[in-house]
Amino acid sequence: MTQALSEHIDYLSLPGRNALYRQAIAATIAPGDTVADLGCGVGVLGLMCLESGASQCWGIDESAAIHLARESMDRAGFADRYTCIADSTFRTQLPEQVDLIIYDHVGFMGFDYGIIPLLRDARARFLKPGGAMIPQALDLWLAPVSSDVCRDKVTRWHDALVPPEFHWFEGLDRNTRFPHNFSADDVLGAPNALGHIDLATDEREFFRFEATLLIDRAGRFDGFAGWFDCQLAGDVRMNNSPLDPASIQRPQAFFPARESFAVEAGDEVRVSFRFRADDNTIAWTIHPPGGAAPHKLSTFNSMVLTPAGLVKDPARPLALSAAGAARAYVLSQVDGQRSGEEIIAAVLAERPDLLPSEQAIRDFVQGVLARDCSAAKPAA
Ligand SMILES: C[S@@+](CC[C@H](N)C(=O)[O-])C[C@H]1O[C@@H](n2cnc3c(N)ncnc32)[C@H](O)[C@@H]1O
């Protein structure tokens, strides 16, 4: 639970965030409205809706935080009006459609925490026709940056202490989007509006934006920062701009250049920025001033090939892995009659070779049964 607590203290204590959501809720909610609190965490946004007159709220979260939400709503006296659902929104069925969906799925750059696919599904299945959403829209911003800390994030692989066999990891990090809290001093030029996303209607799967970053002062261009300005409701907005003292101070996103380069005041750095909403792949091309070769980077290039990645290859036939075959075998032992202990005993007797030790077999079988089984109904 420690991890859930430390994650959610960050959301609960971001400067100004809760007050902005409260204003947006006050401007949106009508007495008696029903609400779905998507990715509810400890339930803070749904709680505000109930305090503002909502009649019923369904809080959905796939992490352990949902248990903190249940206990918190109980203690706050809302147990009968706040229903906690411990699951992914994509697997959840609500008993009825709601008047309002509320969420803070706004990542470092707004779109980069899966907000678009989550809303595409939630709008279609959870929201009454004409229902309301908080937030409603995202504006994306970029600015050129120079930051020793960010530069070190990628060059650290060439540190003398790192054995040379691992220096190639820098290439992976160059293709990575990092969260970072920039200060105004890191910004080399005026921010540039990159694009707008209407969260209530946008159905795009692929987004493509262009920006020209004008350099205001000479320095070393290490990459660019991206952030959001999010319309919660009407004119209630929340942003994480490094240049706005009223920012909620969520970190921004840092996108590195392939290598840092010098820039002068008046230079222009062109950026082409693309992302695929469904798998969060982000690609960025940086055109340095003076016609130097473009830097083409993509989070796709920092993905390490894993079995999970191979499964996505449309041309590759699949077979059960050793763990998959063991799991299938254990599940084949579940017959609605035997208890967990009896199944473990049967597996140990029939397949002592399933894993290297008896303890490993016990732990594995227990894990499979805990995940995929529930108590059988008593015979009538
Ligand atoms: C940024 S936190 C926000 C928590 C809370 N709504 C708040 O404003 O403080 C996002 C939460 O969404 C949950 N989450 C992410 N994707 C989800 C999904 N598809 N279904 C259910 N929960 C999800 C995470 O476990 C996390 O607790």
How many separate domains does the chain show?
Answer: 3
What mean pLDDT comes out for the span 110-128?
Answer: 95
Give yes or no for a cis peptide into 352 (omega within 30° of 0): no
| 247 and 333 inside one domain | no
Residues 155 and 300 in one domain: yes
Condensed to tens digits (0 to 9), the pLDDT of residues 217-229 reads 999 999 999 999 9
Atom 15 in ligand 1: which residue has the minimum CA distance? 39
Our answer on whether the CB atom of 11 is closer than 6 Å to any ligand 1 atom is yes
49 lines ligand 1 (CB under 6 A): no
Residue 112 Cβ contacting ligand 1 at under 6 Å? no
Judge if the beta carbon of residue 121 lies within 6 A of ligand 1. no
Confidence at residue 329, expressed as pLDDT on a 0 to 100 scale: 95
In a domain, 183, yes or no: yes
Q: Are residues 74 and 36 in the same domain?
A: yes
Nearest CA to ligand 1 atom 14: 39
- Average per-residue pLDDT in the chain? 94
- For residue 19, report the phi and psi dihedrals to the nearest 5 degrees: -65, -40
Residue 12 vs residue 242, higher pLDDT: 242
**Is 347 inside a domain boundary?**
yes
Predicted local confidence at residue 308, as pLDDT: 65
State the closest ligand 1 atom to the C-alpha of 105, by its place in the atom list counted from 1. 1
190 domain-assigned: yes
Residue after which a domain boundary falls, among 273, 306, 339:
306
Give residue-wise pLDDT tens across range 157-208: 999 999 999 999 999 999 999 999 999 999 999 999 999 999 999 889 999 9
Quick one: average pLDDT of 23-42? Answer: 98
In a domain, 148, yes or no: yes
Whether 301 and 257 share a structural domain:
yes
Same-domain status, 357 and 220:
no
Nearest CA residue ID for atom 17, ligand 1: 39
Same domain, 293 and 210: yes
Residue 233 within a domain = yes
Domain membership flag for residue 285: yes
Q: Are residues 263 and 162 in the same domain?
A: yes
CB atoms within 10 A of CB 149: 13
The reply to whether ligand 1 has any atom less than 6 angstroms from the CB of 59 is no
Candidate of 40, 73, 87, 100 to mutate for ligand 1, largest count of ligand atoms within 8 Å of Cβ: 40
The answer to whether residues 171 and 249 belong to one domain is yes
CATH code (residue 79): 3.40.50.150
| Residue 323: per-residue pLDDT | 87
Does pLDDT of 5 surpass 90? no
Q: Based on the fold, state whether residues 150 and 294 are members of the same structural domain.
A: yes
| Helix/strand/coil (H/E/C) assignment for every residue in the chain | CHHHHHHHHHHHCCCCHHHHHHHHHHHHCCCCCEEEEECCCCCHHHHHHHHCCCCEEEEECCCCHHHHHHHHHHHCCCCCCEEEECCCHHHCCCCCCEEEEECCCCCCCCCCCCHHHHHHHHHHHHEEEEEEEECCEEEEEEEEECCHHHHHHHHHHHCCCCCHHHCCHHHHHHCCCEEECCCHHHECCCCEEEEEEECCCCCCCEEEEEEEEECCCCEEEEEEEEEEEEEEECCEEEECCCCCCCCCCCCEEEEEEEEEEEECCCCEEEEEEEEECCCCEEEEEEECHHHCCCEEEEHHHHCCCCHHHHHCCCCCCCCCCHHHHHHHHHHHCCCCCCCHHHHHHHHHHHCCCCCCCHHHHHHHHHHHHHHHCCCCCCCC
- Residue 62 beta carbon below 6 angstroms from any ligand 1 atom: yes
* pLDDT higher than threshold 90 for residue 82: yes
Same domain, 72 and 28: yes
Q: Could you identify the atom of ligand 1 that is nearest to the CA of residue 66? A: 27
Query: Is residue 44 in contact with ligand 1, taking CB distance under 6 Å?
Result: yes
Whose C-alpha lies nearest to ligand 1, atom 4? Answer: 41
- The torsion angle over the Cα atoms of residues 155, 158, 161 and 164, rounded to 10 degrees, is 150
User: Is the domain of 143 the same as that of 16?
Assistant: no
Contact 134, 28 (CB under 8 A): yes
Give the distance between the most distant pair of CA atoms in the chain. Answer: 82
Residue (of 154, 139, 115) closest to 254 by Cα position = 154
Summarize pLDDT for 305-350 with one digit per residue, the tens: 666 666 667 777 888 988 899 999 999 999 999 999 999 999 999 9
Q: Nearest to residue 19, comparing CAs of 199, 232, 227?
A: 232
Q: Check whether residue 253 and residue 219 sit in a common domain.
A: yes
Residue nearest to atom 16 of ligand 1 (CA): 39
- The verdict on the CB of residue 238 being under 6 Å from ligand 1 is no
Q: Is residue 379 part of a domain?
A: no
What residue numbers bound the domain in which 86 lies? 2-104
Any bridge partners for residue 214, and if so which? 268
> Of 84, 104, 124, which residue is a domain's last?
104
For residue 280 and ligand 1, the question of a CB distance below 6 A is answered with no
The token pair at 319 is 């077979």
pLDDT at 237 over 90: yes
| CATH number for the domain that contains residue 230 | 2.70.160.11
Domain membership of residue 311 (yes or no) is no
